[in-house]
Chains A and B, each alone.
Chain A
Amino acid sequence: MLYDQFKAKAEAVSAEVYRFSDRNAALSWLVDFLKREGMGDTPETAALWASGPFLTGGERQQLTSGSGISFVVTQEMAAQARFGINLMAWALADTGTLADNSTDIDQRLVSSLPTIHIALVPTAGILPDMPSLFTRLHPRDCSYLAMITGPSRTADIERVLTIGVHGPERLVILCIDAFEGGK
């Protein structure tokens, strides 16, 4: 129910939303997606993953060696990279918004500088609205609370909606039902 609303609202603002039963399904889709969209060895085709506690050591190694995803993030790399990947712990169904504590600069680098931002979201983290988010995420414990609703956009020239100004041109959201499971 919340997922359906979230998906509809996020898609209405040009985000792409997919749902997976578990992390393995999501990760293998992600690797295919990156290859399909041109991930490569050059800085311009790189995929950067802002690490978090989500991935197991095994998974991480597999992704690094098998696909070429980098878990090292710097401003220079992020500014050139085609893909930025991170985990966003929360989502808001009523506006199609992603939210998380982005105090860690890497979280912001991968979600603001690359051309395509891919966010992994636990389906269980979809909340009805902003007030319910604020009972879980509070400035008390969070110096940079970030909310993202669709890709970067502007209508500053003749009111024509154009996607991709200073931030990502595409926002790809992977909702994962059985989010836990890795160790």
Chain B
Amino acid sequence: MDKDFKESIHRALTNGNLTGALGAFSEAYTVNRAKAYDGIDFEELRKKIADLKAYAAANLEQLSAEFTHNAEARGATVFRTDDPAAVREYILNIAQENKVTRVVKSKSMATEEIHLNAYLEKAGIEVGETDLGEWIIQLAGQTPSHMVMPAIHMTREEVSDLFSKEVNERLSSDIPRLVKVAREQLRPRFLSADMGISGGNIAVAETGSIVLMTNEGNARLVTSLPRIHIVLVGIEKLIAHFADVATILKALPRSATAQQLTSYVSIITGPTANPDGSMKNMHIILMDNRRSEMAADPLFKQALQCIRCASCLNVCPIFRLVGGHVFGKVYTGGIGTILTAWFDALKQSEDIQSLCIQCGACKDVCPGMIDIPGLILELRRRLVQEQGVPLLLKSIYTVVNNRSLFHGMLRAASVAGKPFTSGKFIRHLPLFLADLTDGRSLPAIAAVPFRDRFKKIAQPTQREKVVFFAGCLIDFAYPEMGEALVTTLNKAGIEVLFPEGQTCCGAPARYSGVYDVAERNAIDTIKALTAVECTWVVSACPTCTVALTHDFLSTFESVGQAGWLTEARQLAAKTIDFSSLISKLIEEKRLTFQEGKSLEKISYHDSCHLKRTIKVSKQPRELLRRAGYDLTEMFESDTCCGMGGSYSLKMPEISAPMLQRKIRNIKATGAAIVAMDCPGCVMQIRGGLDQEGTDIMVKHSVELLVDYLK
């Protein structure tokens, strides 16, 4: 990882203003967004948006031509180019031909993408940003840290210092007063500018219209007062039909700022009269800059479904810690990582893609239905393909790829780790768990792994058999979870099978972009699990469950492995997570709860893969409640705990504050026990609570249910 990048993360994490402002905003955003969408079927709405944007992405050529034709018929001049340099020259030419000395701009990401301001300024033209946040950034000589709220990282005191310098007067930090100063300062510039430059939220092919949304009213002035209006839009803003504008406008302000609608929406179709009665000189630039290439990529074409609402930033548990600046100069957050990889270069995304913990929070709220974590994973894969695997990772995965060697080393670690074991926790583990220390204790490798304990469990032979896929953590760190699972299923008259050939599910390799190892792991697992007859394959680890139900297929698709697809599909169909299986057995009355239990106060933590990929969140709660536990919800129960497999190893600085936040929310409930369905989360959260010295117990649901089912 690049040293400057590491430093920029460190700077962000230690910037109290930034983390405070972003933290408060992201907490409020989730609540307000839900309110803004009240009464609206979001899934239906985003399906419509995804469809209409996907159509546009698949027909960029045709829509560009149609837009050009229709806008020109209305009197605008349209220029289409692939080349950012050509855009800059075109705008400068118009400015020089028309003796422009002053430009006012309404927020436009596309102009930032091509670094237009500096280019025009070098040619002696004054360029003024007019969006308040953009103006602040411009005065500070910085770049935006958020696509919708560019100056969110700055405090009122910093803004007051900047403005004081600008007006040569010591200003207070009263926000309404500062806003007034901005109004007074910018007003004369609007009135005297010769050229207005805007972006566009939507470009409508059918009518040749540009749709602009602002809250401050600056876009209205930029597009109305100066005698020249330049619009710069990326071609991904094109849509086919005018009626679809209403569909996008229903989602964009709600997702962006939790507003029903922005204060101003302007739909501009061709030039209009200027205040002096002359006709406006209007140019629209359709910029490609690799968007067509993106549209031709079978996976990345969906990134063009983005409507630039930035909700993927607002819900990201990492973004709220580090802010936008670590992502680079233009596009930030999850979607920004993807756009940077394309508009800039794949290499540019090398560091920033590693910020993603793959929790899936962004995918859930994206109004364009973009699989942002999936695409980031694909970037990771392509980077590994292009540049190879770092040496350390390579040696780790060589071991993981060889089951007997891997398991042998884990067994050795259980002995080697002994001297350092204090109670249930040790400070160091070998291999990929080696450096996981800060802010969290780690479990000892079990003296006897589950695979050995299993042989000693006396099970009655039953007609119905279920295969248990333990996964590395239950097998080698938490065998007691596996034992509880066997006991529970035995009560339902089910015999549990444990095929010995099972190994790592491949998730660690896959999430590091090392797909050949993930492929090998997948094949080994499929071989082991499909060799025996059973009704279900059950897993008590959501990451493993997702590997078996989703990731094997996707890995095979990525690497072009067709030989195991049928078996992978069969395995996926049979695989079920622990809580869902128990819920089924209760529904079928094969398991019942002991009556009249009144148990401890507990809280439930949603694991990312269980809630957002497998879509299971009600079942475990229902089970725990019915067992007799007094369930109380924690704040942000479905926010990632910071584990993310090897993420906590690669990004300990980010993982640690995520964990601290989770622990704060757990403690605030006053619960005696915190339950979850994922051994990875147990490892993270138990370790964190242990370091804090609290006596809150961290348990997998299976451990909490086993004694109360019959």
The answer to whether A and B assemble together is yes
Instruction: Give the B-binding residues of A (Cβ under 8 A).
Output: 9, 13, 74-76, 79, 94-97, 103-105, 108-109, 112-113, 129-131, 134, 138-140, 142-160, 162, 164-168
Contact A155 B224 (CB under 8 A): no
B505 contacts chain A at the CB level, 8 A cutoff: no
B242 contacts chain A at the CB level, 8 A cutoff: yes
Contact of A75 among B150, B225, B245, B269 (CB under 8 A): B225
B191 contacts chain A at the CB level, 8 A cutoff: yes
Contact A138 B275 (CB under 8 A): no
Contact B257 A167 (CB under 8 A): no
B224 partner residues in chain A, CB cutoff 8 A? 105, 108-109, 112, 144
Q: Would you give the shortest CB distance from B3 to chain A, in whole angstroms?
A: 32
Q: How far is the CA of A142 from the CA of B207 in the complex (A)?
A: 11
Contact A165 B218 (CB under 8 A): yes
Contact B175 A153 (CB under 8 A): no
Q: Would you give the shortest CB distance from A160 to chain B, in whole angstroms?
A: 5
B296 contacts chain A at the CB level, 8 A cutoff: no
B132 contacts chain A at the CB level, 8 A cutoff: yes
Contact B263 A105 (CB under 8 A): no
Q: How far is the CA of A105 from the CA of B277 in the complex (A)?
A: 9
Q: How far is the CA of A151 from the CA of B220 in the complex (A)?
A: 13
Q: How far is the CA of A164 from the CA of B268 in the complex (A)?
A: 23
Q: Which residues 245-279 in B have Cβ within 8 Å of A in the complex?
A: 245-246, 249-250, 257, 259-276
**Given known contacts A108-B220, A112-B220, is B155 in contact with A158 (CB within 8 Å)?**
yes
B242 partner residues in chain A, CB cutoff 8 A? 134, 138-139
Q: How far is the CA of A143 from the CA of B74 in the complex (A)?
A: 8
Segment among B181-189, B365-373, B487-495, B526-534 that sits at the interface with chain A: B181-189
A sample of 28 cross-chain residue pairs with beta-carbon separation below 8 angstroms, ordered by A number, consists of A9-B260, A74-B275, A75-B275, A96-B260, A105-B224, A105-B274, A112-B220, A131-B243, A134-B242, A139-B242, A144-B268, A146-B220, A146-B265, A147-B261, A147-B265, A147-B267, A149-B261, A149-B262, A149-B264, A152-B216, A154-B133, A154-B179, A156-B136, A157-B154, A157-B159, A159-B28, A166-B186, A166-B221
Contact A112 B152 (CB under 8 A): no
Q: How far is the CA of A159 from the CA of B273 in the complex (A)?
A: 36
Contact A167 B261 (CB under 8 A): no
Q: How far is the CA of A144 from the CA of B156 in the complex (A)?
A: 36
A142 partner residues in chain B, CB cutoff 8 A? 267, 269
Interface centre among B130, B132, B209, B261 (most CB of A within 10 A): B261
Contact B132 A154 (CB under 8 A): yes
Contact B218 A144 (CB under 8 A): no
**Given known contacts A156-B131, A162-B175, A166-B190, is B266 in contact with A144 (CB within 8 Å)?**
yes
B204 contacts chain A at the CB level, 8 A cutoff: yes
Q: How far is the CA of A165 from the CA of B183 in the complex (A)?
A: 6
How many residues from B make CB contacts under 8 Å with A?
66
A158 partner residues in chain B, CB cutoff 8 A? 21, 155-156, 175
Interface of A is mostly: loop
Contact B260 A166 (CB under 8 A): no
Q: Would you give the shortest CB distance from B622 to chain A, in whole angstroms?
A: 36
B346 contacts chain A at the CB level, 8 A cutoff: no
Contact B183 A164 (CB under 8 A): yes
Residue of A with least CB distance to B208: A139
Against A, the Cβ 8 Å flags (1 = close, 0 = not) of B167-182 are 0000000011011101
Q: Which residues 111-155 in B have Cβ within 8 Å of A in the complex?
A: 130-133, 136, 149-152, 154-155
A160 partner residues in chain B, CB cutoff 8 A? 156, 175
Contact A79 B191 (CB under 8 A): yes
Residue of B with least CB distance to A74: B275
Q: How far is the CA of A157 from the CA of B153 in the complex (A)?
A: 9
Residue of A with least CB distance to B160: A157
Q: Which residues 529-569 in B have Cβ within 8 Å of A in the complex?
A: none
Contact A148 B264 (CB under 8 A): yes
Q: Which 8 A-B pairs have the closest CB atoms?
A: A167-B217, A156-B133, A75-B275, A165-B216, A145-B267, A147-B265, A139-B269, A139-B207
Interface centre among B149, B267, B268 (most CB of A within 10 A): B267
Contact A75 B191 (CB under 8 A): yes
Q: How far is the CA of A109 from the CA of B221 in the complex (A)?
A: 9
B62 contacts chain A at the CB level, 8 A cutoff: no
A113 partner residues in chain B, CB cutoff 8 A? 221
Residue of B with least CB distance to A12: B260
**Given known contacts A105-B224, A112-B217, is B266 in contact with A139 (CB within 8 Å)?**
no
B179 partner residues in chain A, CB cutoff 8 A? 154, 157, 162, 164-165
Q: How far is the CA of A96 from the CA of B265 in the complex (A)?
A: 13
- A105-B272, A146-B267, A156-B149 given; 9 more Cβ-contact pairs under 8 Å: A13-B260, A129-B246, A139-B204, A143-B74, A146-B265, A153-B216, A154-B215, A156-B131, A158-B21
A155 partner residues in chain B, CB cutoff 8 A? 149, 215, 257
B573 partner residues in chain A, CB cutoff 8 A? none
Contact B21 A153 (CB under 8 A): no
B24 contacts chain A at the CB level, 8 A cutoff: yes
Q: How far is the CA of A147 from the CA of B182 in the complex (A)?
A: 24
Q: How far is the CA of A158 from the CA of B18 in the complex (A)?
A: 10
Q: How far is the CA of A108 from the CA of B222 in the complex (A)?
A: 12
B90 contacts chain A at the CB level, 8 A cutoff: no
Contact B209 A166 (CB under 8 A): no
B25 contacts chain A at the CB level, 8 A cutoff: yes
B136 partner residues in chain A, CB cutoff 8 A? 156-157
